[in-house]
Amino acid sequence: MSVGVVVFPGSNCDRDVRWALEGCLGLPTTFLWHEQNDLAGVDAVVIPGGFSYGDYLRCGAIARFAPVLEAVQRFAAAGGPVLGICNGFQVLTELGLLPGALTRNAGLHFICEPTELEVRPGRCRWLQGYGDGVSIHLPIAHGEGRYQCDREALEQLEANGQVVLRYAANPNGSVGDVAGLCNEAGNVLGLMPHPERACEALTGGLDGLPLLASLKQNP
Amino acid sequence: MLDPAGEATRAAAARLGVEGVRKLRIGKAIELELEAPDRDTAQRQLELLSDRLLANPVIENWSLEIREPAGGERS
């Protein structure tokens, strides 16, 4: 199992993700530059946090047209595991791999703090290491994390079991307390919290580890 | 659709002493110059750009106004 971490101009969690995957879990990890057309044979893709293309226009709006993401779309359609964290989640919604959109936090502030989340793994291949309904703590760090979709879409997502991560105390005004969403097939996960920042006891706890470790248990 | 920046600005309008602002929404205006063989082509291309790149229809509405340069359509 090798993992590719997509790097855009403005990505800033790419090295943290690689540290979590390779340093903490021993998974060979390579960077995938936004201009490349292929995924260099990796078995899973992570789109990390940051401010791709300076967040110009809208978060993720320019990144969505990066050549590497055409390959990611084909990879996801074929069932390959794809994870979008924070800005990566925003990119996945702009790309249409996940529904809805992420908008300015209701309180207008950038929020950087630990949050409590409820996990509902369902079919999500990334969350099989957590029990159904367990509570975990992961840090968030975003200014535009308020998940938005219309009521009908939200009901559909709930009915399909795609709302796999929910805030216990909604920090940003997201509809349905949505913190993370999975696609119907279960291979694509997008979330605003940062699991890669919770993979070591010394720096933020270990609650993010089972998410990334799912790549080892469930190749 | 909640517009927190618009709401914050509306509250500031009241602090400035203008109490009657019932609605204030903040969006973007994008100016672009496009060369196209005719108006229909320009319209189509601008609609594509508006729908797929400039706006996200999930959270934003858009409208389009075409102004031809002085001297009429370019060839």
ipTM: 0.77
Do A116 and A200 touch, CB atoms closer than 8 A? no
Residue B38 lies in a domain: yes
| Residue B14 CB neighbours (<10 A) | 11
The verdict on whether A86 is a catalytic residue reads: yes
The verdict on whether A112 is a catalytic residue reads: no
- Considering only A8-22, A54-68, A107-121, which range has the smallest mean pLDDT? A54-68
Q: How many domains does chain B have?
A: 2
Of B2, B4, B59, the CB nearest to A101: B59
Are B38 and B63 contained in the same domain?
Answer: yes
pLDDT at B71: 63
Are B17 and B41 contained in the same domain?
Answer: no
Are B61 and B37 contained in the same domain?
Answer: yes
Are B38 and B19 contained in the same domain?
Answer: no
**CA nearest to A183, candidates A126, A134, A140:** A126
Are B22 and B38 contained in the same domain?
Answer: no
Q: Topology of domain A3-217, per CATH?
A: Rossmann fold (3.40.50)
Q: Tokens standing for A15?
A: 């090295």
DSSP A139-181: EEEESS-EEE--HHHHHHHHHTT-EEEEESS-SS--GGGEEEE
Is the pLDDT confidence value at A218 over 90?
no
Q: Tokens standing for A143?
A: 């200014």
Q: Give the domain extent around B42.
A: 31-68
Task: Give the integer Cα–Cα distance in Å for A94 and A83.
Answer: 14
pLDDT at B75: 43
Computed over every residue of chain A, the mean pLDDT equals: 96
Pick the catalytic residue from A86, A124, A149, A182. A86
pLDDT at B1: 77
The verdict on whether A194 is a catalytic residue reads: yes
pLDDT at A114: 96
Q: Which residues of B touch A173 (CB under 8 A)?
A: 2, 4
Is B57 touching A (CB cutoff 8 A)? Answer: no
Are B62 and B36 contained in the same domain?
Answer: yes
pLDDT tens profile A155-210: 999 999 999 999 999 999 999 999 999 999 999 999 999 999 999 999 889 999 99
Are B56 and B35 contained in the same domain?
Answer: yes
Residue B56 lies in a domain: yes
DSSP chain A: --EEEEE-TTB-SHHHHHIIIIIIT---EEEEETT-SS-TT-SEEEE--B-GGGG-SSTTTTGGG-HHHHHHHHHHHTT--EEEETHHHHHHHHHTSS-SEEE--TT-S-EEEEEEEEE--TT-GGGTTS-TT-EEEEEEEESS-EEE--HHHHHHHHHTT-EEEEESS-SS--GGGEEEEE-TTSSEEEESS-GGGSSBTTTTBSTTHHHHHHHHH--
Query: How are the residues of chain B apportioned to helix, strand and coil, as percentages rounded to the nearest 5?
Result: 35, 0, 65
Mean predicted confidence (pLDDT) in B47-65: 93
pLDDT tens profile A140-160: 999 999 999 999 999 999 999
**CA nearest to B59, candidates A177, A152, A34, A147:** A147
With CA atoms as reference, the chain A residue closest to B53 would be A61
Q: How far is A100 from chain B (nearest CA, A)?
A: 6
Do A136 and A93 touch, CB atoms closer than 8 A? no
